[in-house]
Structure 1
């Protein structure tokens, strides 16, 4: 490759290649460079002489190019090149008159070389970023899903484990099958298997025995396997010009020496040839998106245990976003009422529903009397079976402040899903035994062994109580609502809240420390003490309730700490209230920035710096170590939610990654149908540049811990036995000028077509949990650091995560379209037809 400062003269260099050893060289060179300075002419001539120097470098492109590499002999020396490299090599030989440095550099810098491809991609990304910054305009609103490329689909909880490292290695082999012999080439190689590139016309069936002689390896090594190695055919991949056979080696005593040879050969050459990292990169991608989604989960997963036919809620997986659902179902004694909410009588009809999604709408309200809290709940099916009480339940219940509407989804699970995690190949694990994650403890295995179902509760109320208040009812019928009331139990089986645990994503470490504080409140002093502190904030507890709410500004004095410092004034320090407990005695405070710098923040920075070894980190010790991870894995392998992600690319936002669990839900199916069997098209979701004009603007106004913003998406489908992709239409709730216009649309659509409705929850993300994927990233970096960097860039660019829940069943009830409340069967039939097509 020419030097950077000679690139503009590449045309002259190309013209002079074939004249290097010709008598016309000086005359032609002077003619072509007559307008150049003498210094440039000298540099060009020196470059040409350098490129014409004879070369004896060995060329081995195995694992370095996007092509099938094969042996190529030139002057009794075997090189390994693909077809494109061979063509460049032969053309170079003709131009230079022999194998020179110029020929070698042209071969090594072919367009399909992974190093060259990565360099070009990096340069293009830098160029695009610079152009975007220079323009100063946000042209992202003009971007369409097609411009962004096909959407990526991530499957939660799905990792392809590979026990051994596979090396992309092309070598000639002789294949024997069914009394026929032919020559083929390996595509990749491991100790216990390989992948062969087979010429067209050779046929075989999975299960056939294949004998392979590694003729290419035998030219360089003494293998002593004249009978060959036996494999069984696992899979056949048929392409236009060639077929690929996936083979698994049959265990025999004779091949032990060959296995030992392969282990040493792969270990010694994996830095030289390209190790296949597809499964590891897929795992990093999946795990990375999982750790964005779960901590921002709006649904409350409730794990149901089955003991001798009795069903009882055992655990609930909580996050900062679904804790409100957990607290809603705690009675006056702070006991969970989920056992009466999720009764066997209520769960049986859900299990009887045809899969894959077994869900219903659950309506709830509470009534306080004589110091006790009474719960009332009914599913859509239960109200459909009691039409005489439906209006009474809606009309009376919706007037209560405690009125809630939930989407209830029931999914099956098993304790075996708790231990299904991704593992690196054994060759890497041997060097990281200390980092390997232990199996589940006997304690955790004991508490999860009877878990059989997960009931997922999602609050979809969203200020729709006014719609249900329009139902007229006779007050004389109120006493009949007792049949929907929860009975009070003398003994309530324990149901425990288990928080989702990833690494501490706080910007700073917190330290446990108790010291006296005084709080200024209405010109009075309230005594208290600190529970923990960081450089940027405090958690304090007061001896009496305070009248502060989130967002208020407070002033406090650090009485005892002031005694140990004269450098910092620790009185009347301004802090912002970030959270207040129900008892109004515990508050989380954030240091309020000031022009001169916050004195308290400066003091704590110095205190931590000088006493870090003496301070105790504020870390929560779980009751069941490892249980959170086990429940997390079980939920990921069973859920059927629709998750989507927004990436920030400069000043643009893109939505081109969606995720699913074990089975797709209705929105997945509709998008696939709309894509017309091609790449996944998100047009129904991204109409009118929703990602940049709605979602992006919302994310910019949100902070990481803000509650999610909700939207409603309506998809209109023709009322036929099969859903036509071309006829699907989507609408967002914000597209309607007022509630009356939206109600008219929904009413007309329910009458004329089939309406699918989804509640979308959009949350802002923080930084990724890099510790969670550190081992995988480190492993990839050893062999392909550019791929590791690309993966990290992808995860760090995630700005928002969304969740979509099907509310189609609830929409007809909300707007009083009673003749369409049982339209579920038609929707399910259309989805089944879509999946089959």
Structure 2
């Protein structure tokens, strides 16, 4: 087998390898066209042929018994390969990812890796390595997973030190004295400025709300030995589940040396947890990659995916995904906003029986859309009827093939929409089991709507198959116009059944024009403009909507503004949206004017997010009350696109790395 690409195809080696797993995909031409927009058609054809060549089934047998002593026979497609344990695992995984096909590139990849392991083993034993030429020098072609299932559930290492607390400065005491007299506590939160400690007993005789905390006997993995003694002020004290909780703030009298040691200790914890953070980030990166490929495919879906549930009248579709690519098929089934034909399609008795028995359904049907006298008639012939009933064949020949018909395939499978939707990157329902949950608001309402979905249906238009097979010519159909002033008379079994009640099906649109950087939520908060530029003022107003980085406010009186000017606000923010009477005042918050009108202003924070008090507080407020806040500007039946998905991933990433406790102490996880 030739192992080098031609000079014409060498620049496209990466594209060819990345598309090997899509060699038999019906959208291969579209994928090549999108990845090579400025390439001639002839070159694209060569690229396609090269992909087909590399991905063609391989008839060669792999026998590694000459290299490894413990090889096992592995049967696949009437061939027996002899593979070592590592090769067997890689072979089965590759075949599974490639829809049970064994291809040329897989043969070369596994053979090359086996030879490399053999040579490495020989070199370690001191034998002279013998060169083994690979029959094909080709890089690994990895398929892109559209459904990211790379989870990470490990907890970060705590790297705890031992802690003792004193009501007086233990300076000058011996280690034995501090160990015997100090009160043993555990730290639940620790930052460079604050900490929260938990004690089994109430600390007695606290003078001037002052405590001294002794850090000693650190985790050996930190490679940190110095002991630390720091003075803290007690900010808050409470009892919880039989323990005493103390929230402490660093006192001013601490020496620079001790503060420097605390900083070094935190830094050592951060370095020690680097492997944890790398593992933690990988699923998020995979989510972004999966979302990018999902966006490309979702916007080009020609089929109509439908989420289905059991209603009182039987199994019916609840919602379907509408894209520009399946627009024509939608128009065939619907008249303006009337989506009843989708539900009427589910009136087939055998379909209902299959779903009642929790079985999958897969069948073909001819559907005729006959319009007459401002009315529409839908007729349907299922494949089984066509094969067994002569009346169906005559109806197809006389009316269907002369009219506006579609030949469709309807597949329905059982799913767990709620479970599948919580994938870090759920994809469009024609690819996976749930409709892009990450592109929807992250709240209980969304989860509740998904809970009822337990079946996924896909309508595929395969009418072109009829044209390819020349069905009309085979049946000798004579072209004649349908009678357009009356309904077609036929047996009742070929008429789509009427619905007992109006269809409640929803059309879900994919919005590709969403350019928001952050979500905005409708929330009215009292604000007072205290400074405009360098001039003090006092103008009251209310927020129209909020995000962590910006505000939209309405003022009670006009303010002549200039875009880009700085402005200072006082915000009255509830500690809990469900209890709006408890308000916290955030004074002199710095914002910058973006635009608006004299009484309506759009603002963005002025300064760093991590140092902006209102930004940090509003971010925490939004995150903890997603179920109670209404998304501003969101349309009811619309799934947002890539921007929304990435904002959700960003939101999860931010709160994955930043832990904020009930006392408002924000500390980055180690």
TM-score category, normalised to shorter length: 0.3 to 0.5
Greater helix fraction, Structure 1 or Structure 2: 1
Query: Normalising by structure 1, what TM-score?
Result: 0.31
